[in-house]
């Protein structure tokens, strides 16, 4: 069973590079790449990944606020 990930960063080159590196490794599956905090939060609620890579300084909602919002919602359901 693959480890699922959501990747969040506002630099497209970093996002695509990280996804490319992870997809070459066995056992990882990138579910979504997110360029801002709001998209990240939506992707986490939608996919419920095993791992979230999260940049702290992003547009629309910073990474710390994404974490605060995640704490408020039970992702196990």
Q: What CATH number should be reported for the domain whose range is 3-72? A: 3.40.50.2300
pTM metric for this prediction: 0.85
pLDDT at 38 over 90: yes
Domain boundaries, the chain: 3-72
Q: What pLDDT does residue 50 have?
A: 95
Provide the greatest CA pair distance for the chain: 34
Angle made by CA atoms 29, 33, 37, in degrees to the nearest 5:
130
Query: What are residue 54's DSSP bridge partners?
Result: 8
Q: Give the pLDDT band (50/70/90) at residue 11.
A: very high
Token representation of residue 52: 């979230």
């Amino acid at each position: 069973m693959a480890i699922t990930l959501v990747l969040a960063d506002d630099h497209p080159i970093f996002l695509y590079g990280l996804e490319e590196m992870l997809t070459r490794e066995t056992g990882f599956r990138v579910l979504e790449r997110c360029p801002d905090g709001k998209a990240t939060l939506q992707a986490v609620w939608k996919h419920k990944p095993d791992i979230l890579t999260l940049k702290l300084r992003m547009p629309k909602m910073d990474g710390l606020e994404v974490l605060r919002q995640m704490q408020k919602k039970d992702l196990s359901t």
